[in-house]
Amino acid sequence: MASPEVLALLVRLTLAATLALAIVLLLRRPMRHAFGANAAYAVWTLVPALMLASAFSRVAPQGTGVPVPVMPLQAPMPTAGLVVAAAPMDVAGVILGAWSIGLVLWLSMRVVAQWRWRSHIGALHHADNGTAYGASDPSLPAAVGWPRAVVVLPADFDVRFSENERALVLEHERRHVARGDLHAQMLAEALRALLWFHPLVHWAAVRFRHDQELACDADVIASRPADSATYARALAGAAGLRLPPVATAWGFSHPLKERLAMLQLPPRSMARQRVGLAMITLLTLLASSVVWAALAREASAPAEGVVRQTWTLTIDGGEMLGPFLLADRPGVPVEVRFEQAGESWTLRSSATPLPEGRFDVQTTIIRGTEAVAQPRLVIGADGGVIQIGEESPTGFRGVKAEVQVEAGEGTAVAARVPPYPAGLSKEGVEGRVLLRIAVDSSGRAIEVRVEESSGNPALDESARTTAQQWRFNPKHVDGQPVAGEVLVPVDFRAKDVRQDSRT
Angle, nearest 10°, between helix axes 228-236 and 163-179?
A: 90
Distance CA 43, CA 28 (A): 7
Q: Judge whether 341 lies within some domain.
A: yes
H/E segment holding residue 376: strand 376-379
pLDDT at residue 52, as a whole number: 96
> What are 476's strand-pairing partners?
481
Domain count, the chain: 4
Maximal CA-CA distance, the chain: 100
pLDDT tens per residue, range 427-472? 778 888 888 888 888 778 889 999 889 888 888 888 888 888 877 7
Q: What is the spatial distance between Cα 203 and Cα 195, in angstroms, rounded to a whole number?
A: 12
Same domain, 263 and 279: no
The Cα 383–Cα 373 span in angstroms is 19
Mean pLDDT of 368-382: 86
Q: Is residue 446 included in any domain, yes or no? A: yes
In this predicted model, what pLDDT tens digit does every residue of 30-43 receive, in sequence order? 999 899 999 999 99
Quick one: 109 and 166 in the same domain? yes
By the 8 A CB rule, do 415 and 335 touch? no
Domain boundary residue among 407, 437, 458?
407
Distance of CA 185 to the CA centre of its chain: 22
Q: Which of 300, 316, 347 is the endpoint of a domain?
A: 300
Q: Are residues 251 and 281 in the same domain?
A: no
Length of the chain: 503
Tell me, yes or no, whether 184 and 325 share the same domain.
Answer: no
Predicted TM-score (pTM) of the model is 0.60
Same domain, residue pair 439 and 471 = yes
Other CB atoms within a 10 A radius of the CB of residue 470 amount to: 23
| Per-residue confidence (pLDDT) for residue 411, from 0 to 100 | 75
> Within the chain, how many helices (H) and strands (E) appear?
13, 22
Give me the chain's average pLDDT, please: 80
- What residues are paired with 385 via a beta bridge? 402
Q: Which amino acid is at 390?
A: E
DSSP code for 148: S
Q: Is residue 423 part of a domain?
A: yes
48 & 172 share domain? no
Does residue 48 lie in a domain region? yes
Q: Give the pLDDT confidence of 381-403 residue by residue, as tens digits.
A: 788 888 887 766 766 678 888 99
Within its chain, how far is the Cα of 105 from the centroid? 24
Do both 367 and 438 map to the same domain?
Answer: no
320 and 254, same domain (yes or no): no
For residues 348 and 345, give the distance between their C-alpha atoms in angstroms, rounded to a whole number. Answer: 10
Give 344 or 60, the one with higher predicted confidence.
344
3 state SS of 439: strand
Q: Do 114 and 202 lie in a common domain?
A: yes
Domain boundary among 300, 320, 352: 300
* Residue 160 maps to a domain: yes
For residue 232, being part of any structural domain is answered with yes
Confirm whether 362 is domain-assigned: yes
200 and 316 part of one domain: no
| Residue 375 is assigned to a structural domain of this protein | yes
pLDDT in tens, 195-216: 999 999 999 998 999 899 889 8
Q: Give the type of residue at 386.
A: I
Task: State the Cα–Cα distance between residues 368 and 270, nearest whole angstrom.
Answer: 58
160: containing domain: 93-268
Average pLDDT estimate for 62-69:
34
Q: Are residues 178 and 252 in the same domain?
A: yes
| Cα angle 169-174-175, degrees, rounded to a multiple of 5 | 100
Q: What percent of the chain has pLDDT over 90?
A: 24
In this structure, are 438 and 375 located in the same domain? no
Q: Is the dihedral of CA 156, 162, 167, 172 positive or negative?
A: negative
Looking at the chain, the whole-number percentage of residues with pLDDT higher than 70 is 81
Looking at residues 225-237, what average pLDDT do you find? 79
d(CA 394, CA 399): 15
Omega cis (within 30) before 323: yes
